Each structure stands twice: as C-alpha cells, then as structure tokens.
Amino acid sequence: MFHVRHLHRFAAAAAAFTLAAGAAAVGAPASGAAPASPADAGSAAFTSPAADPAAAAPALSVEAQPAPESSETPVYDPGPLTDGSAPPQLPAESWILIDLETGEVLTEHEPDLPPAPASTIKLLSALALVDELDDPEAKQEAVYEDMRVDGTKVGLVQKNDYTIDDLFHALLMSSANDAAHALGEAVGGQERAVELMTDKAAELGLTGTVPKDTSGLNDTSQVTTVSDLIRVGRAVLGQDYLMDVIGTTEYSFPGAVNPDTDEKLKGFPIQNHTRVVGEVEGGLGLKNGYTSKAGGSFVAVVERDGRQLASAVLGSQGSTREGAVDLLEWGFAQSSPEAVDSIELRTPAEIEEEAASAAAERSSAPPERPVQADAEAADADLTSSAPAWLGPAGLGAALVLLIALAVLLRRRAAARRRAPRH
C-alpha cells in the first residue's frame, strides 16, 4: 500500500540530495576533495551556508531520508497499541523495549543480533569523548579532514575554531559526521578516539559492541546490539551535560570565515532531528541513525509518572522512529505488563560496588545467636545468680516455700474480704 506520507519522504530526500550536490567545500584543495553524500540520512543531512560562500539565502536544514521504498518493503502496521494488545511488530532486524528501573524486557526480537549501528554509535562516542573533553568552552580548530568525511555534516570550515560545546551539539542534535571527526581529533586522533570508545564499552559491560569510528559510517565491521544500546542509553541518562545537549531542540551554530577569501559566513540554527524531546509525551531523547547498508536505527527514552521505558531498534527497513515510539506507547498502555525476559543493566563496577557494600553491612552486624543457645544462656544466668550454697536441692526447696507463702497470703486476703463490716 502506498501512503501519502511517502510523497513527503520522497520530496524531502530529493531536496536534501539536490542541496548536497550543489554545495562546494570551502578552502578545499583544487583536487581530491570528497563530495558530500547522503550516507547517513538518520539525522540532519544538510550543508550550511558555511559550505557555500556564494549562498545568500538563510541556512536551510533538510532532513534527508532513506531512498524510496521498493514495492517489496513491508508496510508497517503497529496495531492498536492499547492495554492488552499484542506488541507492535517492526520491519527491523532487532528491537527491544525495557523498563530501565527493573531491567525487565516487555517485548523483544533478536536482542543479541549484532547489526551495524549507524549513527546510534554516536552515543558511545559522546560518552567516551566527554570524559576527556570536559571543558565545553575549549576551542578546537577544524581541519580539512573534518570537511572530507562522508554523509551528514553541519558544515565545519577548516582553519576556524569551534567550541567543544558547538561540536557536541552538532554531533547529537544533527548527527554531524564532520563534528564527530573533529571531536576525535580533539582527543588525539581517530585511533585514540576508538580506543576510548572500546574502553568505555568494556566499562559499561557491553557484550556485542565493536566500535570502529566516532560517526557510525563504518557499517562493515562496526556492530552493536539493541541490548547494548539500552545500556549505553542508560549511561547517557546519567551524564548531565550530554542530556542537556540531547534535550536541546534548537541551537545557534556559529559562523565562520572563508580561509580563501576572508569572507565572513553567518551562523545558523540547527535542530534536533531525533524528534523525541518536545514531540513525544515525557520524551527524553536519545539518538537516531541511518545508512543505506545498516538501515535505520534508533534509541529512545520516555519517562511518565516516574517510570522510564527505553526502546532500541536496529536494521529497520522503514518507519524507524515511528516504530521506536510505538514500542514505548504500547509499553505505557499496558496496565499489567508481563516481562518476557530481563537483562543486567548495571555496569561491572556497579555490581562490584553493591556486592562490597552488602558484604560490609554483613560484617558490621552482630552475629545472630540460635534460640536454643539464648535459652541455655538464660538458664545459666539464673543458676549463676543464685547463692552457691543453695545448689539444685536448695533452689527447689526455696521454690516450694515461695509457693506456700503465696497461697497463705491469698487465703488471708480472701478471709478479710468475707469478714462483716460494722
């Protein structure tokens, strides 16, 4: 079935490709420049005025889309998404919906399958690099290699300085591959950046993720799983700065100076192309992605009434964002959801810390004594408190005397009550 929304998709794709084809690299050498290509259309594939000094019109941000779907592409129908309904079945290689508080999986499909992540790997890039780049106002000079990267770009201009804050906003809002490359350069180069990402993957306890670059363009040997994407998303939720960036819906990206002509290029706004914050009730973000080989990918988190659900999708053949959001809507619609599985969301360090804390509490608590031992101890205390000359026989005699005395006193009291009063 062909839907009207496909017409809008084709129109957006045509506009994006036309815009990219007409853009020229600023300050590029006379030969060897790589043309921009829509290799990662999961975000804001656009070229800013900074990439075309002759452009007089304001910056145009166009969200590129996957190539038109063939007649063989399945039509996605999520179903009713109501309480008690079946979970939606996505046209994707794998997906998962999980409660971030309990680790309970509400629905899943091939959660450990390792497809290419596309731009969702930028969440891991951000987590790994922000530890090294902890000063948002620090400057990084763009280089020609930043401009040469494929796919979605924000339009960095070589020999211009950008703040780390600018680059993180371009990375996570617009999925800009030139910003991803520049951040890699800022930590010492692309190899160093991948090393940091690999270390961060181990720190988070990821079991199916192999990072190869900061952008997600490597869709051959770079892989991840939806379970790992959920773990990465959970870690991002705990990073206040990154969540501030992800929660931004529009950001003023700075202008630049053409190094060849000294022409000043105006700044322009960039938008958040994940379209979760501000568009989905309780939406917290996180990241989308697409390459023609990897297909669509998405990670989303929504919080309602103090409950956080997260969804992740990989290898989608279409309607990627819609499917990820539908999973969340279905999850919140269930009044008594039954878990189909559970995964460990804690990092190895968290597990070790909690185990050590529990052991410390056990060691500081007084040892428990059996009831029988307590009774025997009480008998021993009673015996030890009696005079030594009494002995067992003396204690028995004393007990008999006490009983007789008590009986005598009760009889006298009863007699007094029966006596007539004058």
Residue pair 320/290 in contact (Cβ under 8 Å)? The answer is: yes
Percent of the chain beyond pLDDT 70?
A: 70
Q: How far is CA 194 from CA 93, 293, 356, 364, in A?
A: 26, 21, 32, 44
- Taking 60 as the threshold, does the pLDDT of residue 241 lie above it? yes
- Banded model confidence at residue 203, pLDDT cuts 50, 70, 90: very high
What's CA 142's distance to the chain center, in Å?
Answer: 29
CA angle 191/196/197 to nearest 5° reads 95
Place of tokens 């996957």: 66
pLDDT (tens digit per residue) in 101-137 = 999 999 999 999 999 999 999 999 999 999 999 999 9
| Confidence at 381, pLDDT banded by 50, 70, 90 | low
Read off the pLDDT of residues 205-228 as tens digits, 9 standing for 90 and up: 999 999 999 999 988 899 999 999
Structure confidence by residue, pLDDT tens digits, 14-30 = 433 333 333 344 444 43
List own/partner pairs for 347-354 with CB under 8 A and 24 or more apart: 347/203, 347/204, 347/205, 347/231, 347/235, 348/203, 348/205, 349/203
Instruction: Give tens-digit pLDDT for 411-422.
Output: 666 555 555 554
Length in residues, the chain? 422
- The average pLDDT across 362-368 equals 78
| Model pLDDT, residue 364 | 82
This prediction has a pTM of 0.74
> What is the full DSSP assignment across 235-281?
HHHT-HHHHHHHT-SEEEE--EE-TTT--EE--EEEE-TT--TTTST
Tell me the per-residue pLDDT of 138-176, one tens digit each, with 9 for 90 and over.
999 999 999 999 999 999 999 999 999 999 999 999 999
* pLDDT at position 335: 96
3-state secondary structure of 73: coil
Burial 257-268 (b: 16+ CB within 10 A, else e): bbeeeeeebeeb
